[in-house]
Amino acid sequence: MSRKFRKSDLDTVTRHRVQSGFNPETDVFFTCSDPKTIPLLASSLLCSPPPRRMLFFASLRSPIPLRLPVRSPWSARLFARLHSTNIPNHTAVLQPSPSPPPSSTTAVETEPDEYLRLIFDDSQIWHFHCHPPQSVLEPLSNLSLDFLRRSLDQQPTGLFNNSDLGATRGFQRVADKALRRARLIVERICRAPQNGDAEMRKVVKNLDRLSDTLCSVIDMAEFIRNAHPDQDVMEESNSAFEKLCSYMNSLNTDTRMHEVLVQVLATPTIVSSFTSEEHATAITFLRDFQKSGIHLPASQRARFVTLSDNILSLGRDFTSANPRALSHIRVSSSRLEGVGSVFLKSVVRNDGAAYVPTTPYESTMVLKYANDAEVRKDMYKAANSATKKSIEVLEALVRARGELAKLVGKNSYAEMFLQDKMAKGPENVQTFLRTLLDHHLPNSRSDLLLLQQTKQHTLQLPTLPTINAWDRDYYMNIYGTSSRAHARPRSISPYFSVGSVMQGLSRLFHHLYGVRFEPAQIRSGETWHDDVRKLDVVCERDGNIGTIYCDLFSRPRKMSHSAHYTVRTSRRVDDDDERGDCLYGSPISSFPMVPQGPLATVKGTGRVIRSRPGRSYQPPVVVLTCDFPTPTSRYSPTLLTLHEVETLFHEMGHAMHSMLGRTDFHNLAGTRCATDFVELPSILMEQFVVHPNVYSLFARHYSTRQPVPPALLEQHVAQNNLFSALDTHAQILMALIDQSYHSAAALDPAFSSIDTWSRLQDASGVVPGVSDTAWPTQFGHLFGYGAGYYSYLFDHALAKRVWKACFEHDPLNREAGERFRTEVVGWGGSRDAWECVAGMLGGEDAEMLAGGDERAMKRVGEWGVESD
């Protein structure tokens, strides 16, 4: 056994300090008697910014020290070099994922962000990053290095570093603190007229602080209630979420605050001193009051709050409980020819029959591979069936929204929702969607013709047959696998490990914005699962500008979709004046005598951003969640499909919108902008994935580190683009049904969600509709994006235009990236979205879009959403 490390060991290699150019003023030299401790020590060094310019490592078994430049984040080729230089295989505790050995010492320096890749691809490196063994750290603590002391002194915390959330009933505690602070701010705002001009001047700021106080808990609870593996924590966070949302709904009908805001906006001396951001924030709050029926009598305002709470409850029911009327289909196993023996074995029971569940995976297997058309038909109808209760929940949801809109004087929920969006009204949305439908119809019919020809050839039919809904996936698969021109290429996933993609994103953002990702330490209790990684977003100009938690791997009961959650927005905090809440908002106007209990405060949020002279901003915090397969071992990282890579780029587009948006006000920060504008940055990010200049940054084989063959990637792009026009057509129909459900028709006593869907399919579909099906009950976006689902298509058309005009020829161009930052994402919601797009595009496009009217919506529809 190797003896333990002793400080005296440092003296045994003193001579090597001179020989290797050691500088005691700028460098640190470590040596260990046990080679196992070298990679462990390295992992602890990687947890924090290095204290010196150079680090020297040596093992007593290998007297030649290793000289490494200090970088942040550290190069994980450090591990490879340490392993190949000093540590025999049989003694190494921490080894890198397989990679070619460095040919020279310069190899250590070629990829300074390699560690970023490895914390996602190598679970053991991630484990040592978060939990350096005490046996390694304690003997080194007497070296008085800050990063070692931090590792030793790390104290447990709560979720997102909120100590209150590390104990039982934590969400109740933070909700109560937020409510106490909010009530003080409300009273302060309401009393502003009697407290002088200085307080009136702060009304908009205090309204924004009020919103931030509540949303900082609501947004966090919204994520945790959907993602935490502990059911008790999920329920507690949901309780806090609903409690604060209900309170916020009541504030939107508070006549006292509305009257004060109106008075502020009617005072020229105050309005003339507003910045453009402040004025936009004030108008946003005024519209929120108006949309909530502030002009209504008290009884109707109370009705507004009740309806709003009811919509939240119905929405949760709709998205979490929509079972099929038929849980499975029963067929003879002989009729499942084509689905494969493994799948067939999993569904056959003792009586010899197959019982196939109607859940997504099983239904897709049948619809895609079963040769028997009648079996596919039965599965299609069963998989798109719905219980009576599911249909009732959907119709109750859209009816409640219609009643809410009627209450505030609007004809429909769509009219109410769209009044402050880019579209401005449902008529303009219809113009865009119908224009887009006409634009893509020839392409959709061309795709359909391919399927008809494939079916005709497969079944040896004399004429072109009809393609039914249950035929679509089946003949798409046959065409994609049998056509020589589109033969399924070999897997590209080995070139897309999760870590490689994250590394590529960091490199891309560094080119575009001067921003990179650095792995951050996670304290005990800070995250909801051990698989969660934490990244600091570091700007070369402003330093650390935010935090991204990456919850990318699947686990039992985890939501299956990918999403971006805002936990905390950026906003200016140096002028918060929290003490004034107690002076002007408390019944007892003495700060030490506030009796309500602990208050929510920004004081505990830690570091701030100082990107503007004399101003401090709270850094944004977001979560990216995906459902990628969990790595099977540290040498087999999670490998992504091309579609999954595009998904990760998409969600990271949202995250960077949150990181780069720097506004003074929370209510307009980052992704808090118009719904039909917020998807633009994320969809634009998808365009970068397959450009050679971009994929060359990261697409390397997880084992050999060889770059992806361009021809292979081109084959996969072509495969993914097969029948894309049919997919676009389906998306247009989904956007149209969303508009129909949120039109005035929802309040008609004869309204039927299923009949409405059937009529739309018959009128605008390219594949005949199927009676007795109820697919819309599975359309979860009807809640989260009610009346706004068109936004995906609308922003896709905008993103395509921006890509072609600004990035297609040079996607790594810093000037174009900075322009996108200053014209689009940097504004959050504080600038008119049409102005943002026009400013980015310039030229004739800018002139056409400037009005933001029906003509502009029609032009965007004419641009289309598919690649040329």
pLDDT at 92: 33
Is 651 designated active site? yes
pLDDT at 150: 53
The amino acid occupying position 760 is L
pLDDT at 100 over 80: no
pLDDT at 730: 96
More confident residue, 507 or 868: 507
Output the furthest CA–CA distance in the chain (Å, rounded): 92
Band (pLDDT 50/70/90 cuts) for residue 20 is very low
Q: What are phi and psi of 738, to 5 degrees?
A: -60, -45
pLDDT at 112: 66
Provide the percentage of residues in the chain whose pLDDT is more than 90: 69
Provide the percentage of residues in the chain whose pLDDT is more than 70: 81
Q: Is 719 helix (H, G, I), strand (E, B) or coil?
A: helix
Closest C-alpha among 669, 723, 689 to residue 799: 689
Map tokens 């990271």 to a residue: 652
Distance CA 703, CA 636 (A): 9
pLDDT at 590 over 50: no
Question: What value does the mean pLDDT of the chain take?
Answer: 84
Catalytic residue, from 199, 362, 651, 823: name it.
651
DSSP state of 744: G
The CATH code of the domain at 389-488+723-863 is 1.10.1370.10
pLDDT at 702: 93
Indicate the range of 91-105, 117-131, 573-587 predicted with least confidence: 91-105
Question: How many helices (H) and strands (E) in the chain?
Answer: 37, 13
Starting at the edge strand found earlier in the chain, the sheet holding 615-618 runs 571-572, 615-618, 609-612
pLDDT at 602: 53
Indicate the range of 39-43, 60-64, 788-792 predicted with least confidence: 60-64
pLDDT at 604: 44
Show the CA angle centred on residue 370, arms to residues 368 and 374, nearest 5°.
110
More confident residue, 657 or 148: 657
pLDDT at 74: 35
Token reading at 81:
């070099």
pLDDT at 126: 84
Indicate the range of 124-133, 216-225, 270-279, 748-757 predicted with least confidence: 124-133
More confident residue, 102 or 820: 820
Fold that domain 493-573+608-655 belongs to in CATH:
Collagenase (Catalytic Domain) (3.40.390)
pLDDT at 331: 95
Band (pLDDT 50/70/90 cuts) for residue 108 is very low
pLDDT at 155: 76
Band (pLDDT 50/70/90 cuts) for residue 635 is confident
pLDDT at 756: 97
pLDDT at 858: 96
Of 60-64, 146-150, 836-840, the range with the highest mean pLDDT is 836-840
CA distances from 814 to 72, 683, 806, 819, 836 (A): 22, 19, 11, 8, 18
Indicate the range of 98-102, 230-234, 258-262, 430-434 predicted with least confidence: 98-102
pLDDT at 588: 54
pLDDT at 88 over 90: no
Token reading at 19:
């020989």
663, 827 contact by CB (below 8 A)? yes
Distance CA 149, CA 142 (A): 9
Starting at the edge strand found earlier in the chain, the sheet holding 543-553 runs 515-519, 533-539, 543-553, 621-628, 563-568
Give the mean pLDDT of 24-44.
46
Give the mean pLDDT of 286-304.
91
Domain with CATH 1.10.1370.10 in the chain: 389-488+723-863
pLDDT at 642 over 70: yes
Pairing of strands 615-618, 609-612: antiparallel
pLDDT at 483: 62
- What lies within 8 Å, CB to CB, of 54 at 6+ separation is 22, 23, 26, 27, 28, 67, 68, 69, 70
pLDDT at 138: 53
Indicate the range of 164-173, 710-719, 851-860 predicted with least confidence: 164-173
pLDDT at 369 over 70: yes
Give the mean pLDDT of 82-91.
33
Q: Does 73 sit behind a cis peptide bond, omega within 30 degrees of 0 on the bond before it?
A: yes
Band (pLDDT 50/70/90 cuts) for residue 125 is confident
Band (pLDDT 50/70/90 cuts) for residue 134 is low
Band (pLDDT 50/70/90 cuts) for residue 684 is very high
pLDDT at 361: 92
Band (pLDDT 50/70/90 cuts) for residue 130 is confident
More confident residue, 124 or 433: 433
pLDDT tens per residue across span 185-219: 999 999 999 999 999 999 999 999 999 999 999 99
Element (H, E) at 169: none
pTM reported for the whole predicted model: 0.84
Distance CA 853, CA 182 (A): 39
Distance CA 304, CA 416 (A): 13
Band (pLDDT 50/70/90 cuts) for residue 437 is very high
pLDDT at 320: 81
Give the mean pLDDT of 819-823.
97
Distance CA 670, CA 655 (A): 9
pLDDT at 53: 35
Indicate the range of 115-124, 181-190, 331-340, 851-860 predicted with least confidence: 115-124
pLDDT tens per residue across span 756-778: 999 999 999 999 999 889 999 99
Domain with CATH 3.40.390.10 in the chain: 493-573+608-655
- What lies within 8 Å, CB to CB, of 644 at 6+ separation is 496, 626, 628
pLDDT at 59 over 50: no
Q: What are phi and psi of 518, to 5 degrees?
A: -125, 130
pLDDT at 33: 43
pLDDT at 487: 65
